Chain A
Amino acid sequence: MKKFLNLMATNRSFFLFIFLIAMFLVFSFVIPEFSTIYNILNMTKYGVEIGLLAFAETLIIISGGGGIDLSIGSILSLSAMVIGVLAGRLGMNIVLASILGLIAGGLCGAVNGFFVSFLRMPPLIVTLSTMYVYDSLALLIAVDKWGNPMPVSNFPYGYFFIGQQTYFNIPFQVIAIFIPLALILHFLLSKTTFGRYLFATGNSEVVARFSNVPVKKIKFSVYVIGGFLAGLAALIMTSRIASARPDLGAGLNLQAITIAVLGGTNIMGGEGSILGTLMAIVVITALYNGLQLAGISSIWQVGTLGIILIGSAIANIILSRKYSSVE
């Protein structure tokens, strides 16, 4: 038992896993349709987009020095509008439009990365500013010929498989995009030199500089990767809801950060894992789904997110005071 509690205190992924099981049991007991295979598989698709953003924040926050991206949802909005306008209004080939949408996301990230890494500006200031700029740009390109920013929905039919197709009830974007990407990112962080450099930079920029770590490149690249992930989330989301709106990413900035932090990413940098963030995504997705099935108003969703975050932080503090032992 002591060992179990010790693991709970020191390993965030394990903690979230136990939490998830407990939540599953409660929801299954209260709501019969919750634990059906159909529901479980179906709910996964709602975790994909916010999940990609949370992965982006995980990398960016680990890079340290106050690393954070407040513009991640705005990049999603902008990328979505790029795809929507190019394909829906200008009639560009959808594949090409999608690629350009991804590139737009990467470019937005590169702008953030440039200011943060090469001009050494505080990430909070940079991404707070670009958040507004990207939001405006998304609105700007959404403007139709009558002068109003409007959603675009006339995507070609072939586009929808990304966000709406399922295989044996498993959504396409989960099996073909999200899971492989989670594996790649996990691999990148835990097995490669990039991962080593990222944790080194996040732990201490000075020591990293003294240790021949290409600090600037690393900081720049996490923002670029973050932008790409937001672009990818935009692609999936526009396909799933068959519409591109300039406010798609509204409210997702902070949710993504919250999930990353819930997953054990240290807001001071240098600590975090893809597995932890993944567990947090699963917990939050299941929670939202359970609340919805229980007939609780969706107004409560973000409220519970906040409660879970602070609750898990408190539980963690109590557990680690009592049970974590220094080896």
Chain B
Amino acid sequence: MEPILKAKKIVKNFGGVKALREVDFDLFAGEVHALVGENGAGKSTLIKILTGVLEPDSGEIEYFGKKLVLKSPREAHEAGIVAVYQEPLVYKHLSVVENIFLGNEIKKKNGNVDWQRERSITRELLKSLDIDPYFIDEPMGSLSTGLQQLTLIAKALNYNAKVIIFDEPTAILTEHEAQRLFSIIERLKEKGVGIIYISHRLEELPQIADRITIMRDGQVMGNFDMNQVTREKIIELMAGHTLIEELKRTPPEYTDVVLEVRNLSKKGMYQDIDFKLYRGEILGFSGLVGAGRSEVMQTIFGLIKPDSGEIIINGKKVNVKDPSIAMKLGIAYIPEDRGSQGLFKALTINFNVTIPIIEQLTKFLGIVDNSREKEIATRYLKWLQIKAPSIYTLVNNLSGGNQQKVLIAKWLATSPKILILDEPTRGVDVAVKSQIHNEILRLADSGISIIVVSSELPEIIKLSDRVIVMHEGRITGRFDKKESITPTNLLNAATGARMVYSRD
């Protein structure tokens, strides 16, 4: 039997970044082919190429034995290659029927939409997937995410889809919904549809996947029949021989607890979060994107109100209602998204650096003391070696790395005792990255307690004295000894194996 879809030696570069290096991938009719890898391994890029969102730099796609060149998602759609994303792309105010036939309406001779036929086809499509079609006239927005996904599958079938790509479909489904999805995937297989299935939940793969391809750093690390590979092997290939820089760092004395979080829960975000942060330590928070780490940190910083649980700072229970209280308690939070959360891009470096502490820089009547302000901004500009003509340069005109430094400067200026960095080096080049790492270490040495949230394993492993791993809103791993902080251990915890502990 020949594969229906075959990608051969696909190469894709973004600027200097090699996203895909000669990737081969194939898919047979009626099989589920799982695609796994860490964040940034190249899965999404591959999918985007297969669905016509991106064009490859070189390499080709063979589809039913013929060469296929995709210039747009629409062409992929028409060829029968459809992707169903984690957050379904739907028109919330239109009905299920309208969503399914949008852009592909069945018309009567007089040009009106043939609702009767559209509705009966919708019913049949859903029935063929064993779904009771009672909801076809409801607005899409009123359905659960799970049902929205199913509707999109029905839509794909209506396009006569031969290949359906699921991108982390179960990440936001309930257990029941996930099981229903699996049985529908079985039905799709029976119909001869080929399925590419991306998931971080390794535990669910043996149940539904026939084959698995593991990617890392834009390369295929292995391709196996699902029943011939162990979870350990998969993790090992995902983690690879990650290059970890060794650091000379004297571990902190674990004596003073500066922050303690007890049983913190917020529905839909995180559950039973428990941890301690010691003076002068660097505590890493590892896990996959969407594991709830940022939400926990934003709660500590007063941006999210928890449902239950306690936050204790220097032995005192505190109620952090908003960031101003967090700041008074000495907490600084550097958000992951520079553009929409961290910096005022259309304003100057000076403005950005001093805004959190502007009230401390006043003379009287709320008048800003410009000379003190300038002094502070200039000091951090030099200290963090921000490359800019002056402190009055607009943040927009800086490179990503320098923007990140401005963001760090902004929060260092508040003289924090507890510094929380959320993805501190995302989108930053290697040189600036190691500069920022050195800065973090220097701050920890000076007695500041630091939490680093990062999805990059090398970063977590390099910096952290201890590591906590989260998976789907829960803590699934704690590593207190430097030796136990290994890529394999962290990945195991991050992909939802049972609780992983290592303590002395």
Segment of B34-42, B110-118, B159-167, B356-364 in the binding face: B356-364
C-alpha gap A203/B344 in the complex (Å) = 7
Q: Which residues of B contact A154 (CB under 8 A)?
A: none
Query: Is B365's beta carbon under 8 Å from chain A?
Result: yes
Q: Of all chain A residues, which has the CB nearest B389?
A: A327
The reply to whether the CB of A67 lies closer than 8 angstroms to some CB of chain B is: no
Interface centre among B323, B324, B393 (most CB of A within 10 A): B323
Chain A residues, CB < 8 A from B397: 326-327
Point out the residues of chain B lying under 8 angstroms from A214, CB to CB.
324
Q: Complex formed: what's the CA distance from A203 to B339 in Å?
A: 11
Q: Is B401 in contact with chain A by the CB < 8 A criterion?
A: no
Is the beta-carbon distance between B342 and A207 smaller than 8 angstroms? yes
Asked whether A210 lies within 8 Å of B333 as measured between CB atoms, the reply is yes
- B356 A211 Cβ-Cβ under 8 A: yes
Known A209-B303, A210-B333: A204·B344 in contact at CB below 8 Å: yes
Task: Please tell me if the beta carbons of B340 and A207 are within 8 angstroms of each other in the complex.
Answer: yes
Bound-state Cα–Cα, A212 to B327, Å:
8
Q: Contact flags (1/0) for A197-218 with B, using CB distance below 8 Å?
A: 1011001101101111110000
Selected from B323, B333, B340, B362, the residue in CB contact (under 8 A) with A193 is B362
CB within 8 A of A212: which of B340, B356, B366? Answer: B356
Q: Which of A193, A194, A213 has the most chain B CB atoms inside 10 A of its CB?
A: A193
Given contacts A199-B347, A270-B346, contact A210 B335 (CB under 8 A): yes
**Which residues of B, 188-203, contact A by the 8 Å Cβ criterion?**
none
Task: State the Cβ distance, B317 to closest chain A Cβ, in Å.
Answer: 22
For A191, A207, A209, which residue has the most chain B Cβ atoms within 10 angstroms?
A207
CB of B410 closer than 8 Å to a CB of A: yes
Give Cα distance in the complex from A207 to B346, angstroms: 12
A206 with B346: CB separation less than 8 A: no
- Is B343 interfacial (CB 8 A cutoff)? yes
Q: Are A210 and B342 in contact (CB under 8 A)?
A: yes
In the complex, whether A192 has a CB less than 8 A from a CB of chain B is yes
Contact A196 B351 (CB under 8 A): yes
* Shortest CB distance A74–B (Å): 31
Chain B residues, Cβ within 8 Å of A327: 389, 393, 397
Cβ–Cβ < 8 Å partners of A199 in chain B:
344, 347, 351
Q: Are B303 and A210 in contact (CB under 8 A)?
A: yes
B358 near A209 with CB under 8 A, answer no
Alpha-carbon separation in the docked complex, A327 to B362 (Å): 30
**CB-CB contacts of B444-470 with A at 8 A, as 1s and 0s?**
000000000000000000000000000
For residue B341, CB closer than 8 A to chain A, the reply is: yes
Whether B366 contacts A193 by the Cβ 8 Å rule is yes
User: Which of A206, A270, A271 neighbours the largest number of chain B CB atoms within 10 Å of its CB?
Assistant: A206
Contact A212 B342 (CB under 8 A): no
Contacting residues, chain A, for B340 (C-beta < 8 A): 204, 206-207
Measured between alpha carbons, how far is A323 from B344 in the docked complex, in Å? Answer: 25
Number of interface residues of A (CB under 8 A): 22
Q: Interface digits, A310-327 against B, CB 8 Å rule (1 contact, 0 not)?
A: 000000000000000011
The residue in chain A whose Cβ has the minimal distance to the Cβ of B362 is: A193
The chain B residue sitting closest to A188, CB to CB, is B366
Interface footprint category on B: 20 to 34
- A55-108 interface (Cβ within 8 A of B): none
Chain B residue with minimal CB distance to A204?
B344
Please indicate the chain B residues that have their CB under 8 angstroms from the CB of A197 in the complex: 358
Q: Which of B314-362 contact A (CB under 8 A)?
A: 323-324, 327, 333, 335, 340-344, 346-347, 351, 355-356, 358-359, 362
Contact A203 B358 (CB under 8 A): no
Q: Chain A contacts of B355 at CB under 8 A?
A: 196, 200, 211-213
With the chains together, A192 CA to B359 CA distance in Å? Answer: 9
| Chain B residues within 8 Å of A203, by CB | 344, 346-347
Interface string of A167-193 (1 = CB under 8 A from B): 000000000000000000000000111
Interface SS of chain A: helix, strand, loop or mixed? helix
Query: How near does chain B come to A191, taking the closest CB pair, in angstroms?
Result: 5
| Nearest CB of A to B304, in Å | 11
Identify which of residues 390-404 in chain B touch chain A, using a CB-to-CB cut-off of 8 Å: 393, 397
- B367 at interface, CB cutoff 8 A: yes
Q: Given A193-B358, A193-B359, A203-B346, are A210 and B368 also a contact pair (CB < 8 Å)?
A: no
- Bound Cα distance from A40 to B367, whole angstroms: 35
Per-residue B-contact encoding for A124-137, CB less than 8 Å = 1, 0 else: 00000000000000
Of all chain A residues, the one with the shortest Cβ separation from B301 is: A210
In chain B, what residue has the closest Cβ to A200?
B355
Q: Once bound together, how far apart are the Cα atoms of A209 and B347, in whole Å?
A: 16
Query: How many Å lie between the Cα of A196 and that of B344 in the bound state?
Result: 12
On whether A192 and B368 interact (CB within 8 A), knowing A206-B340, A326-B397, A327-B397, the answer reads yes
> Are the C-beta atoms of B324 and A207 separated by less than 8 Å?
no
CA distance A23 to B429 in the complex (A): 53
**In the bound complex, how far is the Cα of B380 from the Cα of A312, in angstroms?**
41
Report the minimal beta-carbon distance from A175 to chain B, rounded to whole angstroms: 24
Contact indicator B324/A212 (Cβ below 8 Å): yes
Chain A residues with CB below 8 A from B344, complex form = 199-200, 203-204, 207
Question: Which residues of B are found within 8 Å of A211, using beta-carbon distances?
Answer: 323, 355-356, 410
Of all chain A residues, the one with the shortest Cβ separation from B414 is A212
Chain B residues, CB < 8 A from A196: 351, 355, 358, 368
A206 — which chain B residues lie within 8 A by C-beta? 340-341
Check if B341 sits within 8 Å of A192, measured CB to CB: no
| Complex Cα–Cα for A191 and B343 (A) | 21
Residues of A close to B335: CB separation below 8 A: 210
Residues of B within 8 Å of A194, CB to CB, are 366
A308 to nearest B CB, angstroms? 26
Distance, CA A72 to CA B327, complexed state (A)? 37
CA distance A197 to B355 in the complex (A): 8
CB distance from B402 to the nearest CB of A (A): 15
| Chain B residue at minimum C-beta to C-beta distance from A203 | B344
Bound complex: CA A168 to CA B328 (Å): 55
Q: Which residues of A contact B366 (CB under 8 A)?
A: 192-194
**A212 touching B323 by the CB < 8 A rule?**
yes
**Cα separation A152 to B196 with both chains bound (whole Å):** 78
> Which chain B residues lie closer than 8 Å to A213 at the CB level?
355
Write the chain A residue with the least CB distance to B396: A326
Determine the chain B residues whose CB is within 8 A of the CB of A192 once the complex forms. 362, 365-368
Report the nearest B residue to A266, measured CB to CB. B346
CB neighbors of A among B279-333 (8 A): 303, 323-324, 327, 333
CA distance A196 to B343 in the complex (A): 14
User: Contact residues of B with A, CB < 8 Å?
Assistant: 303, 323-324, 327, 333, 335, 340-344, 346-347, 351, 355-356, 358-359, 362, 365-368, 389, 393, 397, 410
Given A203-B347, A271-B346, list of 19 further CB < 8 A pairs? A192-B367, A192-B368, A193-B366, A196-B351, A196-B355, A196-B358, A196-B368, A199-B351, A200-B351, A204-B340, A204-B344, A209-B303, A209-B323, A210-B341, A211-B410, A212-B323, A212-B355, A214-B324, A327-B393
15 A-B pairs with C-beta separation under 8 A: A192-B365, A192-B368, A193-B358, A193-B359, A194-B366, A196-B351, A196-B358, A196-B368, A200-B344, A203-B347, A209-B323, A210-B333, A211-B410, A212-B355, A326-B397
Instruction: Return the 5 tightest CB-CB contacts between A and B, nearest first.
Output: A192-B366, A203-B344, A212-B356, A212-B323, A193-B366
